[in-house]
Amino acid sequence: MSVSVMSAEAIAQANAALEGKSPQQILRWAVAEFHPHLMMATAFGAEGCCLMHMLAEIEPNVRIINLDTGYQFQETLELRERIKDRYGIAVEMVRPELSVEEYEREHGGPLYTHRPDQCCHDRKIIPLRKSIGDARAWISAIRKDQTNHRGAAEIVMWDKKFNLVKVNPLLGWGRSEVWKFIVDHNVPYNPLHDQNYPSIGCWPCTAPVGEGQDERAGRWAGTAKKECGLHVIEHKDGSGI
């Protein structure tokens, strides 16, 4: 799909109508507007687990995918099964064409050590593009306070990178609200969160954080990189912010 399924005016109207609404209200709007052409991508982070709990009550048949790079923690993969047992939601594992072994052999070793942007692009961005199918919109679990890129997002926006409407129900939440919801509703979550991993991605590029550090300080630690590219906003000229 090469053109927006919502005009700029319609997106602005949706944002005005959804401003201040709860994540559940935003999800109900997205389901009414787009389902069955609606999908969600999750890395099984705490935020994504909250959204899956909500979708289990609102519309459990929304297609949910995980971009399985081949480098995920075992705890992350096991969480998929716990989500399935709890909610009956079988998250679809979307994988790159090449296995980790094939990919590293092709490049003479792992790229995450010196070309992490390409590794993320090859093992996340491309698989997501190929998995879109007939989807017209996708749900993400980003929060405004996580990074500068995410701070520029809106509740409803046109995602030029994937030619989809993007819906961000948790945009206005903070970390404390996420964890209050998890505790209040006994939502399954990754046990690595209890081991100083507030943000969890691929194991080679995720480290525990120290006391007082930013919650994403363990992602690509020691580098300026803070995003895999999924949530970088692209302008018409192709540049990102």
3-state secondary structure of 72: strand
Quote the tokens at residue 52.
Answer: 């899956």
Cα angle at 164 between 160 and 170, to 5 degrees?
A: 100
Q: Which two tokens stand for residue 87?
A: 């909610």
User: Which entry of 50, 228, 230, 232 is annotated as an active-site residue?
Assistant: 228
228 counts as catalytic: yes
Ramachandran region, residue 186 (left: φ > 0; alpha: ψ -120 to 50; beta: rest):
left
Between the CA atoms of 226, 230, 236 and 241, what dihedral angle is there, to the nearest 10 degrees? -20
CB-neighbour burial class of residue 135 (10 A; exposed 0-12, middle 13-18, buried 19+): buried
Q: Quote the CA–CA distance of 152 and 149 in Å, as a whole number.
A: 6
Q: Which two tokens stand for residue 28?
A: 């109900």
As a whole number of angstroms, the distance between CA 197 and CA 70 comes to: 19
49 assigned to a ligand binding site: no
50 in a known ligand binding site: no
Give CA–CA dist 227/205, Å, rounded: 11
Residue ranges for the known binding site for [4Fe-4S] cluster are 119-120, 202, 205
Residues annotated as catalytic (active site), given as ranges: 228
